[in-house]
Structure 1
Amino acid sequence: MPDKQLALVTGASTGIGLELAKCAAGSGFDLIIAADEAAIESAAAELRTLGGSVQALQADLATTEGVDKLCAAVGSRPVDALLANAGIGLGKAFLDQDFQRIRRLVDTNITGTLYLIHRVGKEMLQRNSGRVLITGSIAGFTPGSFQAVYNASKAFLDSFSFALREELRDSAVTVTCLMPGATETEFFRRADMMDTKVGTEKKDDAHEVAKAGFDAMMSGESDVVTGMKNKLQTTIANVTPNEVLAKQHRKMAEPGTAKS
């Protein structure tokens, strides 16, 4: 039986997911990393330089088949930390979006994430040991005009993580929600948002965001909002009417708002 603990990290080919995997490797975890793109292999090569075992899997985690494939790769080895980070964004007005892209966002951010946590979490509860980190977002605090489905998906994950944590309160399984703001990753380019203010302005550092989330998970904290500006934003959002928040979000995310 391996002596090292095992961390399972999804969406680990780039951005916050890759940085979370680096944090886990640096803390002595063996890794199984997954993403839906071939870049997961180059991410694995980079992670192997940090020591420890790294197994990479290209799988579509928007599907039950993809999640099953990932769980099959884990096999009977206990997962000590599940870092459920896989997620995609989608910009522009809801009625202008292609519905297949909308459906894929929901399947990736919500359905696939829930299915993976359900499968791995059951085994953790049976063992009465394990840590779960869910990448939510401060976007979940705000009705996201011109990012409507994305923000709603993150509101779902933020809410779900607190509910699951409470259900597991009497066990030794912890659930932590990482709620970053806009972060320097491939997210906005892939979401077709490079013509927006939020897509082009300065963003948080992915490594710092991931480290805050990883440390919170290891400490068993309920949640972490990264950065003072984001903490202030969430505090204000809690006392601001949703109609006002939606209008404010338009100024950030509507196509054509990028600074020239």
Structure 2
Amino acid sequence: MNAIRTGVPAPRSADRAPAAGSALEKTLRIMEALAAPGGPHRLGSVAASSGVPKSSTYRVLVSLVEQGYAVTDGEGGYGMGLQLRTLAAQVGADRPEGIVRLLEFLQRSTGQSVHLALYDGGTGLTCVRKAESDRAFRTSTRVGTRLPLHASAIGKAVLAHLPGAEVEALALATGLAPITRRTITTVERLADELVAVRARGYALDQEESEVSVRCMAAPVFDRDGAPVGGLGLSAVTFLTSGEELEAYAPALSEAARGVERLLQLG
């Protein structure tokens, strides 16, 4: 007799996972395949690596692309999206021992406050680590502080390495709101600034997000060259000149490369 008609539950084999769990497991295996070196990966390769049927893999990939966890190159290849890259960076930052030591070393070497912030794939960054200056005057940024993309050195270091269309979309979404009288508030000025950032290799914030505070930042990239955040030095203007701060650019760049290795993304 039909089990549905009698109200008796249909039998299920002991080794078969519930539908929700099965879907979750498939998605996780597909994400692992996306994160494998050598991407972008073809649909068939992702399906084979994950052990998920090609039709199911395609449906999952479409959903991951829509959510920003995967990207497609338009030619049948798939790779990690910015959301997945940022998630990986955040996981790495939760194992802080080496990163904390590196930030503390940079702080002792320069005497300035050191910040590590990660890009959330949306309209801002979050400070995840800070080594505070031992000087009497300190910056207001704390762990957990949200940093504006267009008005912070770390934000501009990230924007300088994003596609132009994405930068324009972010500018439209945020409105480039003025934070101080020095904040860049037009797309044209921001575009010029990002050209200078790429030429220098680091970004500057000249009292654009906080009065009496200047900052310098270097981008932090994942292993595929996408920016996932930045490492910054901050100083109060009446204690450190712009020239003095920029003299630390080589040390900052080297430290940013160290952060990449510690995040296991470089």
More strand by share: 2
Higher relative contact order (CA 8 A, sep 6+): 1
TM-score of the two chains, using structure 1 as the length reference:
0.26
TM-score of the two chains, using structure 2 as the length reference:
0.26
Instruction: Indicate the structure (1 or 2) with the bigger Cα radius of gyration.
Output: 2
